[in-house]
Structure 1
């Protein structure tokens, strides 16, 4: 893990396409802005985990027979 110290209005870049800017700091909360291409999904970690869990559950509910039927109809 890379650890950086930044002040308000300072930024970091990730690759050539992503820039993260510190917008404000109030107590223990930091407001950040993220500029990234639209093709990159950006989620809070708890939302990302919930999406992964939901996708995992959805895969478990699909039967092999229903998948075969879907492929035949396509």
Structure 2
């Protein structure tokens, strides 16, 4: 891990298109600004972990659950048939 010391107003550049700026420091809290292209996903760690957990749960859907969903789909014609 790279550890850097910055003061308010100072920046860190990552690659060619991401800039992190220290905006404010109060006690144990640091407010930062992040400039990055729109396609770069930026999440707080706790939100990232929550989303990762939800994605894992969603991927663990049972075959029976999927069959139930398909049976309720009016366009579903059963296994081995094309729609």
Question: Runs of 5+ in structure 2 lacking a partner?
Answer: 71-75
Q: Which has the larger radius of gyration?
A: 2
Name 2:26's counterpart in structure 1.
26
Which structure is richer in relative contact order (CA contacts within 8 A, separation 6 or more)? 1
Rounded to whole Å, the distance in 2 between the matches of 1:27 and 1:8 is: 13
The alignment's C-alpha RMSD in Å is 2.6
Gaps of 5+ in 1: none
Cα distance between partner residues in 2 of 1:13 and 1:50 = 28
TM-score, normalization by structure 2? 0.75
The alignment's TM-score, normalised by the length of structure 1, stands at 0.84
Richer in helix (by share): 1
Structure 1: which 4+ aligned runs deviate by more than 6 Å? none
